[in-house]
Amino acid sequence: MNILRIIEQLSEVDADVLGRFDSRRAVFKSLGNTAKMGALAAAPVFVSSLFSKAYGQTTTPSVVEVLNYALTLELLEEDFYKKMTAAGRVPAGAAAGAIATILKHETAHVKLLSDTIRALNGTPVTNVKFKTSAFPADYPTQLVVAQALEDTGVRAYKGQAGNLLGKMAGTTSLLQVALQIHSVEARHAAHIRGMRMQPAWIPASDSNLPAPLGPVYTGAIREDNVIQSNVNITSQLGTPYSANDAAASFDEILTMAEVLDASRAGGLVQG
């Protein structure tokens, strides 16, 4: 029984599967001990209880929770671009124009998500600010952070789509709206990457970058992943493809816990 394979398959369906297990390291540990003792026959029982714990006790986040999570990221981005504009290091012309366009979109996302949460009788989060001490003084490093925020946003929305499947606000499909934001974040990310002379799509090597960018491309499913639905893209499609093409052609999710981790966006929020 290959438990890692099972978890990998589950992660295709449930973005937060690893988050569910994360707080239950002890269960993993006892599973390992069981195997060591040679009581292999008991392993399936342990596996079964592992899953029932993971799924039995952890509730799926509510729609409002998902939207507030998205709103938190949008507020963080909006405040970052406001600070970036105020810092006055962005070259006038094309660069300033691009940052203004992106800021305008983030502000629109903040308004849309806040309005939607209110329409669902929820309370939108407010006052999320980019940590002052983490704000870079120089323009090139500001762009590094912008890339980190945008590529994190792409992965974060992707990670929550399953939780919005079939969810509505009146006659509006919340999944559809989330997808419409998701692809805007990807356009932003591509452009910021271009401003840094990086490829618009994410090469496998990005998963090995030092912080702050590296963690953006890691996680339970790293951006250099080459396996989709159990198909190894490099070797199982008839013609072989490079690991770089296989990794770049599919973006991957980040779970809520991963995004909010201190090594990623979570560490950029003013405490």
Partner 1 sequence: MADLADTSFSGRALRRRTFLRVASATAASSALVLAGCGNDDDDPTPVPNGSTGTLVLAGNDTGILNLTYLLAQIQASLYQKVVTTPPADFTAADTAAFVDMRDHEVIYREFYKSVLGTSAYDNGLTTALEFNFTTYTLTTRKGAYEAARTLEDLAVGAYNGLGRRLANSSYLRLLLKITSVKARHAAFVRDQAEPNSFAGPDVISSTGNQAGLDTIKTPVEVAKLLAPLVPVVLVADNLMTL
Binding residues for partner 1, rule: CB under 8 A, are 12-13, 15, 94, 97-98, 101-102, 104-109, 111-112, 154, 158, 161-162, 165-166, 173, 175-177, 179-191, 194, 199-201, 228-231, 233, 236-239, 241-242, 245-246, 248-253
**Identity of residue 150:** E
Q: How far is the CB of 200 from partner 1 (least distance, A)?
A: 4
Nearer to partner 1 (CB atom), residue 166 or residue 210: 166
Q: Judge contact between 224 and 247, C-beta under 8 A.
A: yes
Sign of CA dihedral 107, 109, 112, 115: negative
**Is the separation of the CB atoms in 107 and 78 below 8 Å?**
yes
Shortest spacing between CB 133 and partner 1, in angstroms: 29
How many CA atoms lie less than 13 Å away from 254 in the CB half-sphere? 29
In terms of CB distance, is 44 or 199 closer to partner 1? Answer: 199
Amino acid at 128: V
Q: Which is nearer to partner 1, 228 or 270 (CB)?
A: 228
Report which residue type is found at 10: L
Burial class (CB in 10 A: 0-12, 13-18, 19+), 208: exposed
Nearer CB in complex with partner 1: 46/158: 158
Nearer to partner 1, 23 or 236 (CB): 236
Which residue in the block uniquely carries the two structure tokens 């029982």? 45
CB of 218 vs partner 1, minimal distance in Å: 16
Nearest approach in angstroms of CB 86 to partner 1 is 21
Q: Cβ of residue 5: shortest distance to partner 1, in angstroms?
A: 13
The smaller minimum CB distance to partner 1, of residues 35 and 227, is found at 227
Residue 255 beta carbon to partner 1: minimum distance, rounded to whole angstroms: 13
